[in-house]
Structure 1
């Protein structure tokens, strides 16, 4: 007599239903929805990065115009405008670019996972 097989229940399934790649490739309505969603997500992250850039770097000339006394401030012998616009703007741009790239890659990975959930990470 064979023993019944044990079934271990760990919780609800974590996988999303698989979407056939054909749906996206054949210009179906579902493919249009998925591609439109990805494009909106990418546009959203790009506009947020642009807003941070404009507010962060673009507002500096306005700040120096509104507070002209700041142009005479020097840190370690370097005038504050030179320090901000000539030195500190580059780490800011690098970090902003890294943040944008990470968000864009996360959007693309989410899209790819939606198309093929078996390749994605299944950690909760």
Structure 2
């Protein structure tokens, strides 16, 4: 049973695998990113990463606190001005809450952004 060389399927050597013909197959990501292992192993570099996150969170907290002190802390000066009682109660009852809410919202968004940036740094 000799086969005709013309009928034999042509052999091909695969030298570069592709995913569905779209291009190279992406390499699997390492199981632990280097920064994550630095943090979990508590190395000096890992300590620096965590300290950086803590510093940025502290900076955001102090900025929010400073804004509250300036805005809400100045209320006694504002209320010392001669004004009708209805204006005083309006400022205290209605005017303070949106300011506190806006500062709190800014702080939460800033803290979440700091954490998201840190996560991107660690998972890179």
Structure 1 length as normaliser, TM-score? Answer: 0.69
2:72 to 32, 54, 57: 57
Moved over 4 A (4+): none
**Higher gyration radius (CA):** 2
User: Aligned partners of 2:35 and 2:75: how far apart in 1?
Assistant: 50
User: Aligned partners of 2:36 and 2:92: how far apart in 1?
Assistant: 48
Q: Which has the higher contact order (CA 8 A, sep 6+)?
A: 1
Q: Is the 8 A contact 2:35 2:46 kept in 1?
A: no
| Gapped regions of structure 2 (runs ≥ 5) | 1-32
Q: Name the structure 2 match of 1:113.
A: 120
More helix by share: 1
User: Aligned partners of 1:62 and 1:113: how far apart in 2?
Assistant: 45
RMSD: 1.7
Residues 1:88 and 2:90 are matched in the alignment = no
2:74 aligns to what SS in structure 1? Answer: helix
User: Aligned partners of 1:24 and 1:80: how far apart in 2?
Assistant: 54
User: Where in structure 2 are the equivalents of 1:1-124 lying within 5 Å?
Assistant: 19-65=34-80, 67=81, 69=82, 71-72=83-84, 79-117=86-124
How many residue pairs were aligned? 93
2:34 aligns to what SS in structure 1? Answer: coil
Q: Is the 8 A contact 1:42 1:104 kept in 2?
A: yes
Q: Is the 8 A contact 1:45 1:103 kept in 2?
A: yes
| Gapped regions of structure 1 (runs ≥ 5) | 1-17, 118-124
